[in-house]
Amino acid sequence: MDATAARGYALITGASSGIGAEFARQYAALGVPLILTARRVHRLQSLAAELASQVDVQVIAEDLEDPAAPARLQAEIQRRRLHVQILVNNAGYGVAGRYLTRDWAVHARFVQLMVTAPSELTWRLLPDLIQSGSGQIINVASFAALVPGADGQTLYAPAKAWLLAMSQSLSLEYADRGVHVCALCPGFTWSEFHDVTGTRAQMSRLPKWVWLSAEQVVRAGIEGVRRGQVLVIPGWRYRGLYQVLRHLPQAWLLRLMARSSRRVRSQG
């Protein structure tokens, strides 16, 4: 991490566990001060206590499912006179089940958290990142953004594809202003994600080679955005798989996704 970036704060959403907490730990090890936000304030405070001996850690509890949360978060950052130089849009979850098995209110909260909140937060903080001359944005997307959507996760792949396309556009628009933007697209990663979606039992049956550690994913993201990569796929197996899949006809890919979805449902 260069000295300029080390002077600004890294704002990490969804920092209470999993990939978000690991971003906090790795940035702290690099000497980058932190702003941690998530719903579960007690977890944020515990993580802040863990890292306080390394860097300054600011905790701002917010639920980004609330449409007013991004504006409140920006206002509190400004009130504390903090300067954000790195933005990690990480907060997220999955909604298991086919589209009509869930009320629209569930889907609306999901879209707010996964699409609207990171888009608005980026819009609100981008002027500071530009002013710094060396801003960085990591949008935690998914390998799901690179393949057809799955049966039973109707809005997940579209939301992650949104983050990927937004990262590409922002990179084109602001790279010449010193802002590096990347979409981090990991495959299956050990975290609480599958506990939240209720799919832990099915996922545990997958072969060990498909799983990535949070440490591996975060390291790839930090190094990738520093190098100016717009698309970062952690793990050589997933990078190889992407190179194969991107050359297959869409009809084949859809059949593969259908077969994979049936297998997962049958194991549930």
Rounded Cα distance, 258 and 256, in Å:
5
Q: How far apart are the first and last CA of the chain?
A: 44
Going from the C-alpha of 218 to that of each of 63, 88, 180, the distances in angstroms are 23, 11, 16
Asked if CATH classification 3.40.50.720 holds for the domain at 3-267, the reply, yes or no, is yes
Domain ranges of the chain: 3-267
Rounded Cα distance, 153 and 123, in Å:
27
3-state secondary structure of 109: helix
Of the residues 156, 174, 238, 242, only one is catalytic, namely 156
Tell me the pLDDT tens digit for each residue of 97-134.
999 999 999 999 999 999 999 999 999 999 999 999 99
Tell me the pLDDT tens digit for each residue of 204-236.
566 677 899 999 999 999 999 999 999 999 999
Are the CB atoms for 125 and 75 separated by under 8 Å? no
Find, among 56, 70, 158, 69, the residue nearest to 111 by Cα. 158
Rounded Cα distance, 32 and 141, in Å:
23
Tell me the pLDDT tens digit for each residue of 91-100.
999 998 999 9
Single-letter code of the amino acid located at 37 = T
Q: 156 catalytic, yes or no?
A: yes
Q: pTM, whole model, 2 decimals?
A: 0.89
